[in-house]
Chains A and B, each alone.
Chain A
Amino acid sequence: MSTPVATQSPPTPSSPDGPVRVQRSLGARVLGRPEIGAFAAAVVIFVFFFVIAPPFRTVEALSTVLYSASTIGIVALGVALLMIGGEFDLSSGVAVTTSALASAMLSYQLSLNVWVGVIVSLVISLAIGALNGWLLVKTKLPSFLITLSTFFVLQGVNLGVTKLVTGTVATTNIDQLDGFDSAKAIFAGDIPLGFMTVKASVVWWLVFVAVASWILLRTRTGNWIFAVGGNQDSARAVGVPVAKVKIGLFMGVAFMAWFLGQHLLLNFSTVQAGLGVGNELIYIVAAVVGGALLTGGFGSAIGAAIGAFIFGMTTQGIVYAGWDPNWFKTFLGVMLLLAVLVNLYVKNSASKRT
């Protein structure tokens, strides 16, 4: 308390050498990327299966791996953006089934064009996403609780409504309806690339990844997503519409879930009402392995894609290697733990003073 205030002159901020600005080293910048850990893991796993499983080396195998990755990656992408925004969604797995069921039952029971079901189920899906976001913003409860509730509600609705309408736990085949062929071509067609044929979902997945990556890094919306996840109060204080961003992110997940739902329905012409339970965790793990922080504010769209690719490779690789596919879940757990450790390290070094 006896500090002589008058003599405590503030030091000048400008040192004699002037403001010299240097780029951080290439190594530091590369290691600061969210997807770097996942990329390294993907390379290792690819080489591993390439060496031990001869059938894995074919182009057909790559096509299968990509397809498997796309069915995880499409929703994982929405989930990754949501996680960067600081929230997560446990209802995404069953929401996929809800969208497929709504579309199938609506078209079949009312004998409508398949496209009507496709559009109406989009509206339903987006409404579910908006409701998740709205409840979160209004109640300020953790997204874990809100979306856990939605998860159970949808799981019950999926089975209950399907049984009421069709009398069974699956929808009736819709492949004779008007518009089925054109819808199938868009959502689940085969696309020849010359050297290999891939499912339309693979192409859509890559398009979505590119768009999401662009939104995240090159638009104001992306800036707001990072800010809302990184420090919500700070973002709000500088005028970022936090509630809108969060609701938008939940609707983004819902859109992805709708897309995958339509793909599954049109690919198999029918859908089981109990499908999708447990997938929400796989999406979350893919996003986390791809470098998204559980606490928000950090992650990337490409990372989530690599995360999904790792799981696509592993589900198929295990089969090609002739092992018991049940080991997949074990692998999932190990990968998650490793990813969380890598992310922790990256986050710490990113916020360390230099």
Chain B
Amino acid sequence: MTDTIAEHASADLTAGTPLVAMSGVGKAYGAIRALEGVDLTVRAGEVTCVLGDNGAGKSTLIKIMSGLHPHSEGTLTVDGKEVRFGSPRESLDRGIATVYQDLAVVSLMEVWRNFFLGSELRKGRFPLAPLDIPRMREIADTELKKMGIHVKDINQPIGTLSGGQRQCVAIARAVYFGARVLILDEPTAALGVKQSGVVLKYTAAARDAGLGVVFITHNPHHAYMVGDHFIILKLGRRVLDRTRAEVSLEELTGEMAGGQELAELSHELQR
């Protein structure tokens, strides 16, 4: 599994190199400030976990990195160059791939069509050039097989796969197409324990292959299993920024659960 990911990962990735750096990044939607003053560095071969409750600004953060919404303040640098993404295509071209929790795949389309969506192989470069269907089928089939993802039939609609399998196909696709930074948006949120395990294992494999991984979640247990660096967002601001050595799971869980607020609440509700 790890071998296959390493095969496709860019050769120039050395663990620890900063790939994406955000400095004082903020985003305002009209009068609402969804995010402000966030500093974050994604390094090759590391998993950066972004934790936070609903509405903490996690989605806004990914949308900025993946090019769905441009940031309105601060700087975003990719490989040392300052950028401001106008579309997901620009972000993808820089090697940043995002796997979304709910919109990772088009469920009525076949597995292989999903695998190649947006990067189809064609037998020519002219408009309406025919697709190279046999090759796409074969590549998708071998890649998934090598990565240990069980698909009964590569031609079945992807909606017939389980949630975990769909996530894995989406991750495999991003890695296959040379992603250097992988953003995973709540990959385990809708999954059972077993399925989450598969996805987490995959995340670790991508990290070991030298990719920079951004793991967005509200589950500190899942984050702690794979994370190297933890950032907690609350109401659009960064409230915690520690490396794995500096924080324990208990602290992370406590902070996520509300920390001081929770202590007050439990005091109030004491019977």
Contacts and interface: CB of A to CB of B under 8 A. Distances in A.
Contacts of A12: 148, 201
B74 interface: no
A219 B253 contact: no
Nearest to B203: A10
A contacts with B: majority SS: loop
B84 interface: no
A230 B107 contact: yes
B161 A24 contact: no
Interface in B205-224: 221, 224
Interface in A1-47: 1, 3, 5, 8-15, 19, 21-24, 29, 32
Interface stretch (A106-114, A317-325, A345-353): A345-353
A100 to B, nearest CB: 28
Contact of A239 (B88, B113, B160, B194): B88
B104 interface: yes
Contacts of B253: 1
Contact of B103 (A22, A219, A231): A231
Nearest to B104: A234
Nearest to A219: B128
B160 A350 contact: yes
B157 A223 contact: no
Chain A interface residue number, banded:
35 or more
A297 B89 contact: no
Interface stretch (B4-12, B46-54, B116-124, B230-238): B116-124
Interface string A193-237: 000000000000000000000010011110100110011011111
A297 B152 contact: no
A271 B196 CA distance: 64
A286 interface: no
B118 A240 contact: yes
A221 B120 CA distance: 10
Contact of B152 (A5, A21, A220, A230): A21
A298 interface: yes
B109 A230 contact: yes
Given A215-B128, A351-B107, A353-B161, A235 B118 contact: yes
A11 B157 contact: no
A237 B159 contact: no
A223 B117 contact: yes
A166 to B, nearest CB: 40
A238 interface: yes
Contact of B145 (A1, A19, A221): A19
Nearest to A34: B108
A211 to B, nearest CB: 9
A338 B124 CA distance: 42
Contacts of B133: 218
Contacts of A227: 106, 109, 113, 117-118
Contact of A5 (B150, B154, B249): B249
B129 A351 contact: no
B198 A11 contact: yes
Nearest to B185: A237
Contacts of B193: 8
Interface string B72-111: 0000000000000000110010000010100111111100
19 contacts: A5-B225, A8-B197, A13-B149, A21-B151, A221-B127, A223-B113, A223-B131, A227-B118, A230-B106, A231-B105, A233-B100, A234-B106, A237-B103, A238-B119, A239-B119, A350-B160, A351-B157, A353-B160, A354-B160
Given A226-B106, A230-B107, A347-B108, 14 more contacts: A10-B198, A12-B201, A13-B201, A19-B145, A22-B153, A218-B130, A219-B122, A223-B131, A230-B109, A238-B118, A238-B119, A240-B118, A350-B108, A353-B160
- Complex A-B, nearest 10 residue pairs according to Cβ-Cβ distance, in ascending order: A10-B197, A351-B159, A238-B118, A230-B106, A239-B118, A234-B103, A13-B148, A231-B106, A10-B201, A220-B120
